[in-house]
Amino acid sequence: MTKKNILIYAFGMGLGHLNRIICYLDQHDIDPKHCTIVTNSRYLDYLPIEMHIQKFSVDFFADSALFFSKFKQLVETLDIQELLIDVYPSGFYGELSNLNTFKIKKTLLARVLKHNYFRKNPLGPLYNTVVVVEKGVVTSNYQYQTLAYCKLDLVTGYSLKKLVPKYPFFLILHSGPPIEVVKLYKKALGQRKHNEHIYIQTFCRLENLENLPFVTIIFRDLPVKVLLDECQILFTGCGFNTFWTTESYREKQQIIPFVRGFDDQFRRKRIADKHA
C-alpha cells in the first residue's frame, strides 16, 4: 500500500467529489491515513476515519490569496509528496492557478466540465498526470505530461438494510438538494398508473413527503440493491456519482440533468443517449 503523504483538493457540496476520491485511492492502493483532504463538503462522515480533514467555507476557497497561502502551508508542514486535485485544474475559483509553484507530483482527476470553466481559466497548471475518469472530457483543455484513463469502480458497497419491497414500485436515487429530489418525485408521480410505491434514497430531508402512505424515504444510506434490481423505473439526476453507479440499469432508468456551476450534466446525458 502506498504510504506517501498526499494533499487532496476536493471542492464541491455533492457526494460525488468525495466518492470519486475514495474510489481512486482504493483502486490505486493508497493508504488514506497518509492523506489530508481540503474540502467544503458536508458529507465528511463519508470519508475514511483515518483521513485527515481540513474543512473550509466556500468564502475561504473564493479568496484565492488566503486559500493558496494555507494550501502552501499544508504542503510544507505536512511534507506533502503529491497533490491530488479533483476535477478543477485551476480550482473552482482559480485558487489553484499558481500550482506550478510546487515542484512535487501533481495528479488531476478529470471529469466532464462546461466550456465556460476553461474560458475563465484558459491556461491551467501543468500536471504530471491527468486521469480521465469518464467519456466526454476534452483533453485539449488541460496541461499535462501524461494522460491516463481510469474507470472508477464507484459502487463501494450496498446497504445492509433488510427490506421487503412493496410491489410494484419506483426508485428515486438522488442525494440532493431537496428541490431536485422533489422534481424527480413529481416525474415519478406522473407515471404512477398501478399504485406503484415510491422509494426515495437521498441524503436530504424531505419533510413534505415523509408522511405519504405510498412513499418510503431511505435517508443517508448506501444503495439498496433489491430496490435497484427490482424497481419498475429508476429515476435519477445526471451527476457523475449517480450516473456511473447506475450504468447497468440504463434500460429502465429515466434521467433528469440538473444545472450546476461547471458540471455539464446535459453533455453527460447526451453522451449516454448517443451510446444507448
Domains and CATH numbers, the chain: 6-149 (3.40.50.11190), 169-274 (3.40.50.2000)
* Residue 155 pLDDT grade (very low, low, confident, very high; cuts 50, 70, 90): low
Say what the pLDDT of residue 52 is: 97
Please compute the mean of the pLDDT values over residues 136-151 and round it to a whole number: 96
Any long-range contacts for 156-159 (C-beta under 8 Å, 24+ apart)? 156/19, 156/22, 156/23, 156/26, 156/222, 157/222, 158/222, 158/223, 158/224, 158/225, 159/218, 159/221, 159/222, 159/223, 159/224, 159/225
Nearest to 146 by CA among 163, 129, 134, 165: 129
Number of alpha carbons in the 13 Å side-chain half-sphere of residue 188? 30
pLDDT at 2 over 80: no
What percentage of the chain exceeds 70 in pLDDT? 99
What percentage of the chain exceeds 90 in pLDDT? 82
Alpha helices of the chain — where are they, by DSSP H? 15-27, 58-62, 64-77, 115-120, 178-189, 225-230, 240-245, 265-274
| Per-chain mean pLDDT for the chain | 93
Buried b (16+ CB within 10 A) or exposed e, 123-139: ebbebebbbbbbeebee
- DSSP lists the bridge partners of residue 219 as 202
Say what the pLDDT of residue 226 is: 95
Q: Are 209 and 217 in contact (CB under 8 A)?
A: yes
Expressed in angstroms, the distance from the first to the final Cα of the chain is: 38
Higher per-residue confidence, 119 vs 161: 119
- DSSP lists the bridge partners of residue 10 as 39
Look at 50-59, 77-86, 181-190, 203-212 and tell me which has the smallest mean pLDDT. Answer: 203-212
Tell me the C-alpha distance between 29 and 24, whole Å. 8
Alpha helices of 177-274 — where are they, by DSSP H? 178-189, 225-230, 240-245, 265-274
pLDDT at 114 over 70: yes
pTM: 0.90
pLDDT at 192 over 80: yes
